[in-house]
Amino acid sequence: MTARHIVPLPGYAPTIGRLVGMLTYARHTLLSTVDGLTTAELDHLHDADANSIGALLAHAAAVEWWYQVLTFEGRRATAEEEAPRLPALDLGEPGRRAVRGRPLAERLDELAAVRATTLAALAERDDAWLEAPLAADPTMNAHWAWFHVAEDEISHRGQILWLRKRLPARPA
């Protein structure tokens, strides 16, 4: 068995490096849950109240973008900035209608692009930044914000696993 340790990663401040390790592991496991899915499977709705797997992937990217703006730019996203991401941020009925028709490769590219921005920005910061209250929301610090990004992704990975097990059988 491979050793599993949370350790500081090179290129990051010690605590940020540990957080990056957690974000990376959460993303790795998320990607493994969607490997090989077709566009129809990504768009499948289990029932009238369910989100699709594709919508949950779009949500992960949108949430990470939202926390980038909040933590790295020190502000809240504008309504204009949020508008194209709102169906993915809010999910529910808007997500069931709007977040459809995109193949897995396109969704993975979106997740990779948002994560690359996150990793580059985190590499520029120190642990003091991570622990300081956010200018745009002093009720939280960046550490909590990025913990929440990982937690949200892990939660939705569980939903995706549940949904994937219930996909209609592929034609023979």
pLDDT of residue 163: 97
| Structure tokens that stand for 46 in this block | 């289990």
Whether the per-residue pLDDT at 122 is higher than 70: the answer is: yes
Whether the per-residue pLDDT at 3 is higher than 70: the answer is: no
Mean pLDDT of 114-120: 98
**pTM given for the model:** 0.94
pLDDT of residue 2: 57
Mean pLDDT of 33-57: 96
HEC string for the chain: CCCCCCCCCCCCCHHHHHHHHHHHHHHHHHHHHHCCCCHHHHHCCCCCCCCCHHHHHHHHHHHHHHHHHHHHCCCCCCHHHHHHHHHHHHCHHHHHHHCCCCCHHHHHHHHHHHHHHHHHHHHCCCHHHHHCECCCCCCCEHHHHHHHHHHHHHHHHHHHHHHHHCCCCCCC
Assign 94 a pLDDT band (cuts: 50, 70, 90): confident
Sign of the CA dihedral with 30 first, then 161, 154, and 105 last: positive
Mean pLDDT of 14-22: 96
| Structure tokens that stand for 35 in this block | 């490997």
Residues of the chain above pLDDT 70, percent: 98
Backbone angles phi, psi at 41, to 5 degrees: -70, -40
Q: Could you please state the CATH topology (level 3) that the domain comprising 14-165 is classified under.
A: Four Helix Bundle (Hemerythrin (Met), subunit A) (1.20.120)
Whether the per-residue pLDDT at 47 is higher than 90: the answer is: yes
